[in-house]
Structure 1
């Protein structure tokens, strides 16, 4: 267990730091004064020292300096509420590993302590670093795969002390969500989906084969350097253009990492998926290269395991996690009234302009005295020319127009109605918030959105318009009609937490096997 000396004379701060670090399986010795710090350094051995500058009866930097040779190479972090060039200069002369100005976030302190206590010990030593996970999301049109992985990653780093999650993302905008301790990403060169199974380079003027080779080599380099204990792949079992197959083959030979396939509940027409998976070898990849399949949905909503033949590929190793959404509390909305606040969301935005343009036209057909307030989120992937056009038109109608938002749930909480396409994330965030939905499914290239819209409508969870019948007039009539109350009983919306719990279980098992290998491996 990592041994920490905390030299801090403020009782409340000391208690909070101790609780925070002890929650990460660290043993903390608290010294509340300069004298106690001197005594602790004289009789104890520590892996890291956290020292306040002002200790009431002395100066923390002077105490650390006097300890000299007893500290050896033990890293020291100086903390102070008196941040100045003078104190920073004194701290550097000791020297110290880091300087923290108060107030600081405890999460930042935990990350710093973890980093300083898990560095390699030098040639010939074997040090165990924290557990590691790679999450793969190829995203060529929207943001759904990356958004799901991001939600699960946040739950997972909160659940597993010292965990590092590295996300491999293909989204053209990179990792658009807010940074989080323990989570980072590698941006793969972008691909654009032309049709079912057809891709081209998204920005670089390269052919798809060259780009696939580049992406595959980046992925292989990440695995060689990062050596993850667990791989979570979203949606594409072999990766887009089969770019994951080399690392999956290495995994089969080396027995590491644990591999889990995460799938949204509805993929495409079931018969088409089963036939394609059999023909292109994907079914064999799932059966031979994955330890488990995790379905981000509820079996009562859509029977994915049987519809797509997953249970036959991995008998007894298919789980439903429930729907992956952002945690939040649903708002109580009055029944039988027309909406006064409408949110129009384009998801990623790549193909959302026709829906947004029609929604703005629908609003214009409603007399001003009856018009509801409207907010439009175009999505970060909308072409700039179209985004500018949508923004200008929205301004003329008094509509708030945003490019993207980090927290869609907060906008849904304030809205009386959501108008969107039928992507997994937007729809399920609205259901979790209890926000009524009008959905217009994407025409292709897969049937996923059409099947989702029909399933939602059949269960009374959303109203939908086909793209062929979408007009400003038809949408305006539906917009102004009092929405029915969606009945979400039987649907679980804590999929991120439940998925993280399952990953943590497999991570612990894989990590235990690896630690045993390292412990018994010969040193040279």
Structure 2
């Protein structure tokens, strides 16, 4: 069977990494659940996606990209109007899905992509019997902001008509967007929570981006910090495009006695800003641009400081490493709402960037010695739940197709009996119909 996943990818790596984790989960579990081999495509639009591997039989499709701008989006690189780029992306998506004929299509966060680019493709695949799923983070934004976004794409009823199910990647005992109003009633009726996509996330590999240093030097830095030869604390900033304020505080903070401090800025941080941070870092602090095995670093660290992105915290919660979450300020209310909900649940500590400076961070680091975080009360099983939900949807679709074929085998009417001696017999027509279905 073929599975397809879509992410619009205007900023950061979160959408890509979430869909990649889902791909590994369904590749691992669906064959046993369905008795069928599984392959798939991840449709994305960030060139960073291809640095991440995929399961055997899966591949990336990278579209020309977009980037946020005042009032909407603009082409990231292509010399085109936004209208022209949208038309190009829509045509490419429709052609890919028409040729591949997936049985399950999972769309991350934005139901119709950028500017409605997915609308035609969704109708197309549903016409082929494909099941469609809208995957949502557990936190979207303030209810008023999200209500306006649902209306902008035609209202929640229209979205509900286009998707068979809505999967919310979180624990409702921590945060339930159905009760806050972020997922309105029409969608809530089709929604189910999966648990955080935390446990059994795929290994990101351990390949380092060189930045301005040789890759071997960066490998030595990370291996020295992560092998246990010297304890270390970690600051990681996700993609890095909006982590400058936290990074600036982090490089001025003092790690605990006997520890190193590893700061991973993210591959999307501006080069000049990255170089300034490296120049300011003290002798006990190492600043690198990227490490593909951030989960491994988080698990090995004595303490972690991070922003409040979904994937960062999902990976963090699979460990017992104490964490201070400093959510992104501005843009959206998503990160603060997530950070303080998890803090209220006892999973992390949280502070706003306005209440943090180098002294506060140094003091927090110093207080974490020997402490382990207990997150056993949080549902972290999303990557086991999603394949089961996928198998149920696919089985339902196949059952409906079989029922359609069975309807064709009912006793012939007088009109069909009268044609029984014609060249095309009923069994031949049924075989052709079954093949088409």
Would you say 1:454 and 2:340 are equivalent positions? yes
What is the TM-score with the length of structure 2 in the denominator? Answer: 0.79
Would you say 1:154 and 2:24 are equivalent positions? yes
Unaligned ranges ≥5, structure 1 = 1-130, 329-338
CA radius of gyration, larger in: 1
Partner deviation per Cα, 1:227-283 (whole Å, 9 max, x = no partner): 11111001101112221111123345x253110011010010123212431354141
Structure 1 402/327 Cα, relative in aligned 2: closer, same or farther at 3 Å? farther
Report SS of the residue matched to 2:253: helix
Which residue number corresponds to residue 54 of structure 2? 179
Which residue number corresponds to residue 321 of structure 2? 435
Question: CA separation in 2, counterparts of 1:465 and 1:229?
Answer: 44
Q: CA deviation at 1:163?
A: 1.1
Partner deviation per Cα, 1:425-458 (whole Å, 9 max, x = no partner): 1112112101111111111211001111221222
Q: Matches of residues 76-115 of structure 1 in structure 2 within 5 Å? A: none
Structure 1 175/312 Cα, relative in aligned 2: closer, same or farther at 3 Å? same
8 Å CA contact retained: 1:153, 1:500: no
Question: CA separation in 2, counterparts of 1:320 and 1:523?
Answer: 36
Which residue number corresponds to residue 521 of structure 1? 433
From 31, 45, 61, give the equivalent of 1:170: 45
What is the TM-score with the length of structure 1 in the denominator? Answer: 0.66
Structure 1 153/278 Cα, relative in aligned 2: closer, same or farther at 3 Å? same
Total equivalences in the alignment = 377
Partner deviation per Cα, 1:271-318 (whole Å, 9 max, x = no partner): 321243135414133211000000000110111223236462146421
Q: CA RMSD in A?
A: 2.6
Question: CA separation in 2, counterparts of 1:164 and 1:280?
Answer: 31
Which residue number corresponds to residue 302 of structure 1? 175
Which residue number corresponds to residue 331 of structure 2? 445
8 Å CA contact retained: 2:43, 2:62: yes
Partner deviation per Cα, 1:340-370 (whole Å, 9 max, x = no partner): 521111111111222122101113xx6xx82
Q: CA deviation at 1:482?
A: 3.1
8 Å CA contact retained: 2:101, 2:128: no
Structure 1 318/522 Cα, relative in aligned 2: closer, same or farther at 3 Å? closer
Unaligned ranges ≥5, structure 2 = 202-229, 406-429
Q: Which has the higher contact order (CA 8 A, sep 6+)?
A: 2
Report SS of the residue matched to 1:178: coil
Which residue number corresponds to residue 418 of structure 1? 304
Q: CA deviation at 1:511?
A: 4.2
Which residue number corresponds to residue 320 of structure 1? 193
Structure 1 205/362 Cα, relative in aligned 2: closer, same or farther at 3 Å? farther
8 Å CA contact retained: 2:261, 2:286: yes
Question: CA separation in 2, counterparts of 1:278 and 1:523?
Answer: 40
Question: CA separation in 2, counterparts of 1:474 and 1:498?
Answer: 39
